[in-house]
């Protein structure tokens, strides 16, 4: 019964959406037999059309479809489906007309994607298509297969900067070739399509070790088939040149589409389709909150709660069916609940018409692209749950598919720890032109934001700013991590006569204590030239306050307790002279040194914006900013001016009392760039010593502690004993840091 409820939840969601979608349906004046959803343009207009027609087709074929709720009869949906399919096939490069921007589509690296995404709807209603339309489908699939076989290079490279990182496109192109070979066995090149498709698939979720692997896949060794790795050995993915959790899921979603297509036909899929999916799934699962929201450790450039996120649904159905992971069901239910919660806030039954009401005024194409993403995912959930009986009786795997307690990877400078209470991460090479950091309760996905989070912010007069990475190092240990590095804030997009500029350099240390609660951050920033800056923000912890937390946050700041409703309607700064605050009785923030007080900046708009080629536009999420310190308004800074020099703690699971009583000591804070040393008492009641040397030369450090202690390095460095006078002396190498556990002395181990 619970599985039926899930299936119907997808269908009921689509029924509401159909009413809202009608305003974006368009019939070409000279072709009453055609219909499009969205712009009708080439490229993403085509993809949008294909996703929308899939939703219409699946609902029309479902015996439980409710026409009254949808505002359209089953026959009307079927008619729209057929006209939309016809428009799509006829506007192909081999067809009789063009898209509405006067281009035809097809024979590109991405043209197979939409064909894969609509395949389940064609499967559901192919018998309702006219004979001529079925012939057109064959024409299109054979044309795409010929082009992929003859004219498109199979490539792979883990470094996204080369332009050859192609895991998801290799996957959908390989799947299309293999499906076409099975669907049209009488095609003269069917065997070629299959073999070429296997080659694409082997080089999709591919890793460097495949180049020497003797494992037999579809009749040949991996080494024979390997062309290029798209993933690092850790299964990190540098797609769009940042650590991209979203495209890891996109890969799994395309595996799902092919998997279920072959399953419905009773045909064995190519073995290459499943290459490394279990290993990739464990990392993806680690990067999911229990409610299914992505934990995007590497940042994001698109609208939050959207885009790749919607394709988690097919991925979850696949891992439940093929990998036998029972946790997929709860993740699916959690994400469904969030989709439903947002849809209930829209005035017209659309998926995003509340939170993103402004987006259609900027780009109807982009807006319908995202609406159709969610509709497509719902159609897959509704269809596959119906034809496979809700996946009842799926075996439970005995393989280890649990989340990873920790993970790290050097190319992106990535570290994460996942405990019972805390999710903490740091990625230096992240999306959106900034580092990405998180420290949130495991159970509170609504509190998570990543781009530039806990990384300060320096904004000049240009329209865009990015972080140019310098050096960074990472150390991991059970339950925690430690990292140090620097970057230059680079700005551009100025008025005529002003060139791009390096504004400031920032050094940062971030440490996740092994207490499943605390993250310590150190930030030091100074200008590299005379600089006009619009804003300077130390710390900058982003706290979303929008529909996903019912637009309500409770803050305790010193002796004050108050609630804030989001989104805010005007920019304001809230301060009361206190260096600690608590959010929702579950997240504490403490300023340790360097500023007078914590500040809450209310941005007055949805400030988490889409990154686009024309700069940031259209905010998709509202977040308050916890700053330490904050300076707003254009100000002229001398070269070498210190913008901030601060330390802070973020504590998961802390209420107001625990936050107010957080224990620390500043033991060393050299003027300017140099050594910082702090003693911190963790949530585990253990004492830790954090030492960092931000300078470019070695420094000797003397720290006063109690006699009889040993400082045990957790980052693999040297241990030290406190002398009889209570002194600890050590030499700290340039640009390095260490975390010590302070214990009763039992002799130095090293």
By DSSP bridging, strand 642-652 and strand 720-721 are: unpaired
| Token digits of residue 514 | 């092994």
Does 398 fall in a domain?
Answer: no
Strand partners, 582: 556, 588
Domain hosting 6: range is 2-391
709 and 681 in a common domain: yes
The larger pLDDT score, comparing residue 700 to residue 337, is at: 337
Beta strands in 328-463 (DSSP E): 406-409, 414-418, 422-427, 436-441, 457-459
Cα Rg, the chain, nearest whole Å: 27
Q: What is the pLDDT of residue 443?
A: 98
Q: What is the pLDDT of residue 214?
A: 98
By DSSP bridging, strand 406-409 and strand 242-243 are: unpaired
Beta strands in 528-596 (DSSP E): 531-544, 552-557, 560-565, 572-574, 580-583, 587-593
488 and 618 in a common domain: yes
How far is Cα 406 from Cα 399, in angstroms, rounded to an integer? Answer: 19
Tell me the average pLDDT of the chain: 95
Beta strands in 266-421 (DSSP E): 406-409, 414-418
Cis peptide before 173 (omega within 30 of 0): no
433 and 327 in a common domain: no
The backbone torsions φ and ψ at residue 410, rounded to the nearest 5 degrees and listed phi first, read -80, -35
What pLDDT, in 10s, does the model give residues 162-218? 999 999 999 999 999 999 999 999 999 999 999 999 999 999 999 999 999 999 999
Over 60: is that where the pLDDT of 62 sits? yes
Given 3-state DSSP classes, what are the helix, strand and coil percentages for the chain, each rounded to the nearest 5? Answer: 35, 30, 35
Number of domains in the chain: 3
CATH number, domain at 114?
1.50.10.10
Q: What is the pLDDT of residue 612?
A: 56
417 and 378 in a common domain: no
Over 90: is that where the pLDDT of 744 sits? no
350 and 411 in a common domain: no
716 and 617 in a common domain: no
| Token digits of residue 594 | 């360097």
Cβ atoms of 321 and 388 within 8 Å: the answer is yes
241 and 177 in a common domain: yes
Cβ atoms of 447 and 440 within 8 Å: the answer is yes
DSSP string, 222-278: HHHH-----S-TT---EETTEE-HHHHHHHHHHHHHHHHHHHHHT-PPPGGGGTTHH
277 and 195 in a common domain: yes
Average pLDDT value for residue range 332-345 = 97
**pTM of this structure:** 0.96
Over 80: is that where the pLDDT of 748 sits? no
Picking from 391, 417, 448, the residue at the C-terminal end of a domain is: 391
Picking from 658, 684, 699, the residue at the C-terminal end of a domain is: 658
Picking from 621, 642, 658, the residue at the C-terminal end of a domain is: 658
Share of the chain above pLDDT 70, in %: 98
528 and 421 in a common domain: yes
CATH number, domain at 629?
2.70.98
Does 399 fall in a domain?
Answer: no
Distance from CA of residue 320 to its chain's centroid?
Answer: 22
CATH number, domain at 699?
2.60.40.1180
369 and 284 in a common domain: yes
Does 401 fall in a domain?
Answer: no
Sequence-distant (≥ 6) Cβ neighbours of residue 411 within 8 angstroms: 158, 159, 232, 236, 238, 429
604 and 524 in a common domain: yes
Strand partners, 711: 720, 742
**Which three-class secondary structure state does DSSP give residue 634?**
strand
569 and 446 in a common domain: yes
């Amino acid at each position: 019964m619970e599985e039926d409820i899930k299936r119907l939840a997808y269908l009921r969601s689509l029924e509401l959406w159909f009413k809202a979608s009608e305003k974006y349906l368009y019939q070409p004046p000279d072709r009453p037999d055609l219909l499009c959803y969205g712009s009708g343009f080439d490229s993403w207009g085509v993809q949008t059309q294909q996703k929308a027609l899939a939703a219409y087709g699946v609902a029309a074929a479902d015996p439980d479809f409710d026409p009254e709720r949808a505002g359209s009869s089953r026959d009307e949906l079927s008619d729209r489906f057929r006209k939309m399919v016809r428009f799509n096939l006829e506007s192909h490069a081999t067809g009789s007309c063009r898209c509405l921007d006067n281009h035809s589509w097809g024979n590109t690296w991405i043209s197979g994607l939409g064909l894969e995404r609509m395949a389940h709807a064609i499967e559901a209603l192919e018998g309702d298509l006219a004979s001529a339309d079925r012939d057109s489908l064959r024409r299109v699939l054979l044309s795409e297969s010929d082009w992929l076989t003859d004219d498109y290079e199979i490539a792979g490279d883990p470094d996204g900067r080369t332009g050859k990182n192609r895991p998801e496109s290799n996957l959908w192109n390989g799947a299309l070739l293999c499906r076409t070979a099975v669907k049209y066995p009488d095609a003269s090149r069917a065997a070629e399509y299959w073999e070429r498709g296997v080659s694409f698939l082997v080089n999709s979720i591919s890793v460097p070790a495949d180049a020497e692997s003797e494992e037999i896949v579809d009749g040949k060794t991996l080494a024979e088939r390997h062309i290029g790795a798209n993933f690092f050995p850790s299964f990190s993915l540098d797609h769009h040149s940042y650590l991209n959790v979203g495209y890891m899921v996109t890969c799994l979603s395309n595996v799902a589409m092919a998997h279920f297509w072959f399953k419905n036909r009773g045909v064995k899929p190519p073995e290459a389709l499943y290459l490394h999916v279990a290993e990739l799934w464990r990392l993806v699962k680690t990067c999911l909150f229990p409610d299914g929201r992505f934990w995007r450790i590497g940042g994001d450039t698109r609208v939050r709660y959207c885009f790749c996120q919607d394709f988690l649904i097919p991925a979850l159905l696949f891992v439940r069916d093929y990998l036998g992971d029972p946790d997929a069901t709860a993740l699916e239910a959690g994400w469904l609940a969030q989709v439903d919660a947002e849809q209930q806030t829209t005035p017209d039954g659309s998926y995003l018409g509340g939170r993103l009401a402004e987006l259609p005024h900027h780009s109807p194409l982009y807006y319908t692209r995202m609406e159709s993403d969610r509709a497509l995912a719902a159609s897959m959930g509704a269809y596959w749950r119906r034809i496979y009986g809700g996946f009842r009786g799926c075996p439970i795997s005995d393989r280890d598919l649990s989340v990873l307690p920790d993970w790290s990877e050097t190319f992106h400078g990535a570290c994460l720890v996942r405990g019972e209470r805390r999710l903490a991460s740091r990625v230096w090479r992240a999306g959106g032109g900034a580092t990405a950091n998180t420290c949130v309760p495991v159970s509170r996905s609504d509190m998570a934001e990543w781009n530039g989070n806990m990384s300060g912010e320096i904004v000049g007069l240009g329209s865009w700013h990015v972080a140019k990475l310098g050096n960074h190092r990472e150390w991991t240990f059970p339950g925690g991590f430690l990292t140090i590095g620097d970057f230059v804030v680079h700005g551009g997009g100025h008025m005529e006569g002003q060139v791009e500029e390096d504004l400031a350099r920032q050094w940062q240390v971030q440490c996740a204590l092994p207490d499943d609660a605390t993250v310590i951050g150190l930030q030091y920033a100074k200008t590299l030239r005379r600089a006009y800056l619009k804003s300077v923000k130390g710390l900058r912890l982003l706290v979303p306050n929008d529909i996903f937390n019912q637009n309500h946050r409770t803050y305790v700041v010193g002796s004050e307790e108050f609630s804030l409703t989001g989104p805010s309607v005007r920019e304001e700064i809230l301060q009361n002279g206190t260096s600690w605050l608590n959010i929702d009785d579950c997240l504490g923030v403490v300023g340790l040194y360097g500023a007078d007080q914590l500040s809450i900046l209310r941005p007055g708009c949805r400030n988490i914006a889409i990154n686009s080629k024309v700069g940031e536009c259209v905010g998709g999420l509202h977040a308050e900013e916890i700053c330490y310190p904050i300076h707003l308004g254009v100000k002229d800074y001398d070269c070498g001016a210190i913008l901030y020099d601060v330390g802070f703690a973020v504590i998961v699971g802390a209420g107001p009392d625990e936050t107010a009583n957080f224990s620390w000591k500043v033991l060393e804070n050299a003027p300017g760039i140099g050594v910082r040393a702090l003693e911190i008492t963790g949530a585990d009641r253990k004492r830790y010593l954090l030492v960092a040397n931000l300078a470019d030369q070695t420094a000797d450090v003397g720290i006063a502690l109690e006699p009889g202690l040993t400082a045990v390095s957790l980052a693999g460095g040297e241990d030290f004993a406190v002398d009889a006078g209570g002194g600890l002396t050590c030499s700290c190498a340039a640009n390095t840091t260490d975390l010590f556990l302070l214990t009763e002395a039992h002799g130095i181990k090293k």
